[in-house]
Amino acid sequence: MKKLIFILVLTTTFFVSCKKEKFPDIDDLSGSWIEQTDHFNKHKLIFNKEVLIFIKPTSIDTFSYHLDKKQELIFFTSSIGESNHKVLFDKKENKLSIWDLLGGIPEKEIVTVFLKE
């Protein structure tokens, strides 16, 4: 019986530790991120403690941002308005995934992946 309990605890611990992606905190986000795509013109994000600089091929936007850990959302605020996006961070691969950041088809979620520079 003790062996069975030990095996169950060990198996549970293994599966919990396998989850690579988590909701980021501000320290995880800090720095420069480059979009992972085959396109020549890539988007770049630069996170400071309270400000995001979003560098696009044709323009640069600045947003304030805050994180909602409970909903796993990041909120961007600018003079134009506010948007929110699901966000996950893969610490092992230093990869940031943001849903519907660049727009697209309303019925389909599109994930944009960034790697830390």
2 has pLDDT over 70? no
Beta carbons of 42 and 35 less than 8 angstroms apart: yes
Closest alpha carbon to 54 in 23, 29, 72: 29
20 has pLDDT over 80? no
111 has pLDDT over 80? yes
Domains contained in the chain, CATH given: 21-116 (2.40.128.50)
Judged by DSSP in three states, 104 sits in coil
**pLDDT average, residue stretch 18-43:** 90
Burial class (CB in 10 A: 0-12, 13-18, 19+), 81: exposed
Enter the pTM of the model.
0.78
Mean pLDDT of the chain: 86
